[in-house]
Every structure is written in structure tokens, then in C-alpha cells.
Structure 1
Amino acid sequence: MKVFLETERLILRQFTEKDAENLFELDSDPDVLRFTTNLGQPTPYIVIQTQILPEYFAYYEKYDGYGCWAAIEKSSKAFIGWFLFRPIIHASYFNPKLANSTDVEIGYRLRKASWGKGYATEGVKALIFKGLSELGTKRILACAFAVNTASIRVMEKAGLKLKERLFSEEIAQEAVLYELNKS
């Protein structure tokens, strides 16, 4: 398995087939999924094996430096979640009126036991730095439900600014779109 980047407390590495159980556990916690498009519904194990992991593996083949990365806590070596740094064209909410096809989406999902420890901010800042300094990223976007104040704080701590408020008819939720321009 390939390590993508390390921070003081985290290792972000490529996913492997062996991570199916980790993803299943993460996506089985209704509190973790409360602010996702799953709206608290667990992801079936078969979907993780046949759709999600193959999608992550395809990013590694297609892109040099973009994808979804397993987050490992250095001190315990435990899987704590994932971080996403990929071309926004792969985002379910991609809309050419809101984003350019060259923009990059950033996001994360962490186990509840890892909340409130600064891991989200640490990982997001490291990905932003790598994207802007090494990968040629020009603009980074992040989306969250408007009620997800913890994720909004992470985006703001990482330097992203509110771009737009949106309402999703599909899930009957208000969302916010944040951005960070290289300039």
C-alpha cells in the first residue's frame, strides 16, 4: 500500500481490498453518516466491495496525486476514516454553473472516536498544502450541509471561504459551498 502523505499525527495512504471492513464499520455509524447524502443510512458491505473501493482504486490509476486516502492514526496505527482530494467532476453535486472541471474537491469522514481531536483540520490543511504546492491545484471546493457546523469550522480553519449557499431538493437540505483559490 502506498503512503500519499504524512502529517504530525496522521498517515494518509491508498486503500486496499482489506479496508472493506474498515469502511463498512465507518459507514455503519448513524452519527458519522448524519451529515452525508446517506442521511444516516449505512452503506451495504457489498456496495463497498463492488462500487466504492473499485472507484477509489480507479482514482489511483487515473490520477497522480488525487483520490481518496485511508486515514491512519500514527500513534495507534488505527484506521480512523478517510480524506478525499479529487477532481470535482467526480462529486455527486458537481454543477458546471458552480465549479470548473479543473477544480478539486476536498472532504473527509472520520470515526466518532476521532472527532474533536483536530484530525480533520490537520488532514485538510496538509492536503491543501500538497495540492497547491505540488500538484498544480488552482481552486479547492468543499461542500457540507449548512447544519454541520463542525465541518464548516474545519473548512474555515483551513482557509476556505463561503462561496455559496445551496438547497438540494433531492435531500431537502441546505448546503454550503466553500472555496480556496491559489491566488
Structure 2
Amino acid sequence: MILETARLRLRPVEMSDVDSLVELDSDPAVMRFVSGGAPTPREVIEDWVLPRAQAELRAHRTGMWAARERTNAGFVGWFALRTPRHSSRSELELSYRLRRDTWGQGFATEASRALVAMSFREIAAERVFGSTLAANSPSRRVMEKVGMRLSAIRLSGDEEMSGLGGGEVEYELLRSHWETTALAWSPPRAASWTARRPDVADLTA
């Protein structure tokens, strides 16, 4: 499924995105709240991240989307919807990671709103949630702007976790709340939000 917002085009990740993904995860600032700044090895992206995302797409129409600007095709980052493996609820986990030079421009909120809308409209999820370290205030602001509410705080005495920014927080948005707020928005004018089901090439990329 391909999504388009006012400024971004999101399509399922494929092997041609590996260099961009490796470069993204090589920035210590980007990885600060993920791994303490350590980069993700290329082989992990090639052998685990991409296959897992493509399996999600085939099984659930979820997975990971590479986000590029519509004006110049510049790589912005990735956004993901994941189906929790050990949950009996109809829910999806939202996550995202953006290049440092795109921070503060509203891209994360813009794309996240499109994925939330897709989750409720196309996939019929009952709940979308996301989590981050408590100290990661930019990510928390994105989830709040999308309409999510704080639903859990997990404190940790783990020394490694403390070094990354303390405990973890979880935010959620329920279908019932989304449907009764202005976030259940209609696509503004000309194709600022479009989606199509993946064709065979999308599923096997």
C-alpha cells in the first residue's frame, strides 16, 4: 500500500532503500534513544529488518514504509506499523525514524496521521499505540499531535536503560476516540492523502 500526504510519498521498503537506511542508522543523534548512538549493521538491515517488514506486508498489509519528499524524492526516513505477535487485540504499533536534517519540519506528524488513518480505515484496527523512552520528548510530541494519549509508564532501574533516557512511556489512540475527534479528517482537496493496495511487485519486492 502506497500513501501520499501533502509533502511525502510513502511506499513499502525494498532492497534499493538499504543504503538510505544504513546511513540513517549511522547518525548517533538519530540512534540516541534507540541504541545509545550505536549504528545498525548493514547485515541486520538486509537480513532482518527488510525481510520482517516484507513479511508483515504480505500477512497484514502493514510493515515499514520509506518516506521521500514528493518534490525532490529526497529520503526523509521510515515509518512503520507492526502487528504485535503476542496480542489478541486488533491493534498496531506505530514507529518512525527520520533523518536529523528533516527534524522540526512536521514530517513525522504528517506521515503518522496518514498511517493512523489507514490503520482505522483500511485495516480496521481498534487501537494504535506507540512507545518511546520517557526522555525522548520530540517523539512524545509527535504522538500527542497525532491524538494519542499517555496510557502507560514503565519505570526501569536497569543501568543501560537509565543511560538511554530512563523508563519507557506508551501512548495510544482508540478507534472510538479517533472517530469522534477532528482527527478523523477527510482528505483535503486534491489528493493530499491517497492509498492503493499493493500490486504483485509491491508484495514481492
Summarize deviations over 1:80-115 as a string: whole Å, max 9, x none: 1100112123xxxxxx6xx65432100100000110
Runs of 4+ residues deviating >3 angstroms: none
In the alignment, what sits opposite 1:177?
A: 170
| Cα shift at 1:167 | 2.5
In the alignment, what sits opposite 1:44?
A: 41
In the alignment, what sits opposite 1:92?
A: none
RMSD: 1.5
Gaps of 5+ in 1: 90-95
In the alignment, what sits opposite 2:201?
A: none
1:66-77 aligned at under 5 Å gives the runs 66-77=62-73
TM-score normalised by the chain length of structure 1: 0.88
Is 1:15 aligned to 2:13, yes or no? yes
- Distance in 1, matches of 2:71 and 2:147, equals 27
Q: Is the 8 A contact 2:56 2:83 kept in 1?
A: no
Q: Is the 8 A contact 1:106 1:141 kept in 2?
A: yes
In the alignment, what sits opposite 1:28?
A: 26
- Distance in 2, matches of 1:132 and 1:48, equals 29
| Cα shift at 1:4 | 1.7
Structure index of larger Rg: 2
| Cα shift at 1:119 | 0.2
| Cα shift at 1:52 | 1.2
Letter in 2 for 1:179: E
| Cα shift at 1:39 | 2.0
Q: Is the 8 A contact 2:10 2:68 kept in 1?
A: yes
Q: Is the 8 A contact 2:91 2:128 kept in 1?
A: yes
- Distance in 1, matches of 2:118 and 2:55, equals 21
Summarize deviations over 1:112-160 as a string: whole Å, max 9, x none: 0110000000011111111112210100110011111111111111000
More strand by share: 1
Q: Is the 8 A contact 2:130 2:143 kept in 1?
A: yes
| Cα shift at 1:171 | 2.7
Percent identity (aligned): 40
- Distance in 1, matches of 2:14 and 2:119, equals 23
Q: Any idea what SS the aligned residue of 2:33 has?
A: coil
Is 1:113 aligned to 2:101, yes or no? yes
What number of residue pairs does the alignment pair up?
171
Q: Is the 8 A contact 1:87 1:101 kept in 2?
A: no
- Distance in 2, matches of 1:171 and 1:100, equals 28
| Cα shift at 1:34 | 0.6
In the alignment, what sits opposite 1:123?
A: 111
Using CA pairs under 8 Å that are at least 6 residues apart, name the structure with larger relative contact order, 1 or 2: 2
Q: Is the 8 A contact 1:9 1:74 kept in 2?
A: yes
